[in-house]
Amino acid sequence: MSAADTEVSRVSPRYGEGRTALLAAAVRVGAEQGLRNLTYRSVAREAGVAHGLVAHHFGSRDALLEAALRYSLDNSVPSMSTRPGSGDLEALFGGIVDMVGSLPHDLAFQYELILESRRRPELRRHVDSLYSAFEETLAAELEAGGLTSDPSFVHLIFAAVDGLVFQQLTIADPVRTSAALGHLRTLLTLAGHREE
């Protein structure tokens, strides 16, 4: 068995896991090589399958991109709170630091998509979908905690979190990120007292 055969057998998905394995591979390719290199062949190579399988599952590159984005959001958005819907401000952003450590490809893929949309305006709808997913989840958490869910307030808070995530992803300083998120929770608690 050649080294290439070993590599394929090591990463080839098991029966019934093909679509998920392809989505994970698409996210890794987008994160590591950029969206311009996200092709059926590159995803198939990363997943250890024939490129026809990628076409079979997704039909178009845009459908693959959209499904990969949804997959990465499904992985990352739940980290907004360790106790979703509880209104517990201490739980808000509690999973962010761990998420960056455990899902770096998902986050890098999302940032690659955001940056690529500057060059390719047709991707803007995906970016809007990305930000909406995070901001809608954050708005629900803030509202459950008795805070305003005014869109501009939510946007401000998410922009702070997004910047911290980006910095941790690139600089890798989880202690600093955790401390900053703690201060953000304190500010939200103070904002809640002002609204009462």
Q: Which of 59, 91, 107 is the last residue of a domain?
A: 59
- Considering the domain architecture, whether residues 167 and 87 belong to the same structural domain is answered as yes
Mean pLDDT lowest among 18-22, 110-114, 191-195: 191-195
Percent of the chain, pLDDT > 70?
Answer: 89
Spatial separation of the C-alpha atoms in residues 82 and 175, rounded to whole Å? 18
Tally of domains within the chain: 2
Amino acid, single-letter form, for residue 140: A
- Considering the domain architecture, whether residues 43 and 126 belong to the same structural domain is answered as no
Mean pLDDT lowest among 21-25, 48-52, 124-128, 182-186: 48-52
Dump strand ranges (E) for the chain.
none
Position 51 scores a pLDDT of: 84
Given pLDDT bands bounded at 50, 70 and 90, which one contains residue 8?
very low
Give the SS3 label for residue 81: strand
- Considering the domain architecture, whether residues 97 and 146 belong to the same structural domain is answered as yes
- Considering the domain architecture, whether residues 84 and 10 belong to the same structural domain is answered as no
- Considering the domain architecture, whether residues 104 and 186 belong to the same structural domain is answered as yes
- Considering the domain architecture, whether residues 69 and 3 belong to the same structural domain is answered as no
- Considering the domain architecture, whether residues 104 and 164 belong to the same structural domain is answered as yes
Mean predicted confidence (pLDDT) in 10-36: 81
Give the SS3 label for residue 92: strand
What residues make up the domain containing 147? 65-195
Q: Which of 59, 78, 104 is the last residue of a domain?
A: 59
Phi, psi of 172 (to 5 degrees): 60, 60
Position 21 scores a pLDDT of: 93
- Considering the domain architecture, whether residues 40 and 107 belong to the same structural domain is answered as no
Amino acid, single-letter form, for residue 99: M
Mean predicted confidence (pLDDT) in 161-172: 96
- Considering the domain architecture, whether residues 89 and 183 belong to the same structural domain is answered as yes
Q: Which CATH number do you get for residue 21?
A: 1.10.10
